[in-house]
Each structure stands twice: as C-alpha cells, then as structure tokens.
C-alpha cells in the first residue's frame, strides 16, 4: 500500500461527513454535501488511479468530473425553478 | 485542504459561509493533487490527465458555486437581484 492509496483512503473517509451533510437540513444544505462529495470522489478516483499505476483509470476520473458537474448543475436549476 | 473544507462545511452555521469552504475544496485541493502527480510522473499521459482534471475543476467549480448561491437567493427572495427593502451592510 503506497502513499497514493493512503491518500485515497483518507478521501474515502472524508466522504462520510459529506454524506452526513447530504442527509440533514434543507435541500440547499444537501446539495452542498453532494457537491463536496462529488469533488472528493473525483479526487479519490484520481489518487486510486495513481496508486494502482493504471493510466486508463485517469479517464474515469475525468469523465466522472464532467458528469458530476452537469448533474449537479441540473439539480441546481431544478431547485431554482421548481422545488 | 479537503479535510478543512469538510470541517468548514459541517461547522459553519450559514449556507453562504459553507459555500466559501466548498470553493476551497473544488479549486485548491485538486490543484495540489495534480501538482503531486505531475511531480511524480512528469507530463506523460497520467500527468496531463491530472492537470486536465484540476483545470476543469478550477474553471467549473466557481460556476457551480455561483449557480448554487443564485439558486439559494432565488428560493429565499424570489429574485436574484437586490430588493428595495433589503438591508445591505456596507463598510
């Protein structure tokens, strides 16, 4: 287990507070937890890719970044208009 | 950096204060991690992808933060522009 995997494990631990924020409070608070959680997940994927030394996994992190950005933006617009 | 942002998001009482901590997590943390990967790997396929991810988050993280703040303001006041009877704190 190299240092990259240790950092990735730390990122996965940090997902727990994001889940806590996403499960309580108003919809805006939950959205904030989701945004932070998606960034931390992308960083965990990046660190796992470097830790396992598989360059194809970097594509996964990049695609996850793009998809989470569009998904969260769609939720923001939905909250703004209809909820 | 990500740990500090998580703590800030949990501990701050106001939603707008939490948004500031979210911006630190989306801009500085990925830049540091990409810097570490480039230092390890140089600018090969992995390093370029790490830089791409950091640049993507650096560009679009503030867009998301702005959109969130705008949505919160519209939900609270009905419009994102300032209201005539709204108190504005000027320094």
CB atoms within 10 A of CB B11: 10
Which parts of chain B have pLDDT scores under 70? Answer: 84, 87-91
| A53 pLDDT more than 90 | no
The parent domain of residue A41 ranges over 3-81
Could you give the ipTM of this predicted complex?
0.83
Total number of domains in chain A: 1
The C-alpha atoms of residue A12 and residue B83 are separated, in whole angstroms, by: 42
Domain coordinates in residue numbering, chain B: 2-77
Residue B81's φ and ψ, nearest 5 degrees, are -80, 160
Q: What distance in Å separates residue A29's CA from the closest CA in chain B?
A: 7
pTM to 2 decimals? 0.85
The C-alpha atoms of residue B5 and residue B83 are separated, in whole angstroms, by: 31
Position B90 scores a pLDDT of 59
Which pLDDT tens digit goes with each residue over A34-44?
988 999 999 99
Which pLDDT tens digit goes with each residue over A62-74?
999 999 999 999 9
Contact residues, chain A to chain B, C-beta under 8 Å: 7, 10-11, 14, 17-18, 20-21, 26, 28-29, 31-33, 35-36, 39-40, 42-43, 46-47, 49-50, 55, 58-59, 61-62, 65-66, 69, 72-73, 76-77, 79-80, 83
Phi-psi region of A71 (alpha: psi -120 to 50; beta: other; left: phi over 0): alpha
CA of B90: how far to CAs of B84, B87, in Å? 15, 9
Burial A23-44 (b: 16+ CB within 10 A, else e): eeeeebbbbbbbbbbbbbbbbb
């Amino acid at each position: 287990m190299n240092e990259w995997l240790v950092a990735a494990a730390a990122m996965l631990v940090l997902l727990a507070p994001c889940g806590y924020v996403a499960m309580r409070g108003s919809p805006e608070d939950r959205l904030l937890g989701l945004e932070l959680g998606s960034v931390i997940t992308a960083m965990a994927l990046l660190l796992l890719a470097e830790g396992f030394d598989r360059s194809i996994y970097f594509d996964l992190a990049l695609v996850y970044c793009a998809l989470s950005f569009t998904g969260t933006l769609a939720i923001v617009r939905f909250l703004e208009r209809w909820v | 950096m990500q740990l500090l942002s998580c703590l800030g998001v949990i501990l701050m009482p106001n939603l707008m204060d939490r948004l500031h901590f979210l911006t630190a997590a989306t801009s500085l943390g990925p830049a540091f991690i990409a810097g570490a990967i480039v230092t390890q790997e140089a600018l090969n396929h992995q390093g370029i992808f790490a830089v791409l991810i950091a640049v993507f988050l650096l560009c679009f993280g503030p867009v998301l933060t702005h959109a969130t703040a705008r949505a919160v303001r519209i939900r609270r006041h009905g419009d994102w522009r300032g209201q005539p009877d709204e108190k504005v704190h000027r320094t």
